[in-house]
Amino acid sequence: MSAECSSYLNADKVLVSGFSCPRAGGDARAVFCCGFQDIKYCCDDPHSFFPYEHSYMWWLSVGALVGLSIAAVVLFAFIITVCVLCYLFISTKPRSKLDSGLSLQMA
């Protein structure tokens, strides 16, 4: 069993000629054409070809980084808010016990 990886333009816009999988001197199990439209290689997983350019992965990474940064800022703000509220709760408690107005005496 073998697969044909068609020619493609890589990220530098250089034409890379097509090749057959498995490649000479490569892994004999790598019989499938894998990768992206602008980066192709032979591998052993038939579901590893993605009809997109490899650069779209960077946008996913940037999106994940932005999402994690926003989550970190929200978590940090929550922790600061809880600390400030705890401090205010502790610092505004009265130092002495309140006088209830009733005196307890033994009869």
23 lies in some domain: yes
Picking from 39, 41, 33, the residue whose alpha carbon sits closest to that of residue 10 is 39
Q: Are residues 37 and 57 in the same domain?
A: no
- Domain membership of residue 22 (yes or no) is yes
The answer as to whether 107 is a domain residue is: no
Is 103 a domain residue?
no
The overall average pLDDT reported for the chain is: 82
Give the predicted TM-score (pTM) of the model. 0.46
In a domain, 102, yes or no: no
Position 101 in a domain: no
Say yes or no: 57 and 37 in one domain.
Answer: no
Domain range enclosing 74: 53-92
Is residue 10, in this structure, part of any structural domain at all? yes
For residue 63, CA distances in Å to 11, 39, 52, 94 come to 21, 22, 17, 49
Write the pLDDT tens digit of every residue in 76-96. Answer: 999 999 999 999 988 887 766
Give residue-wise pLDDT tens across range 35-54.
888 888 898 888 777 766 66
Tokens of 48: 């590893």
Looking at the fold, whether 58 and 88 belong to one and the same domain comes out as yes
Number of separate domains in the chain: 2
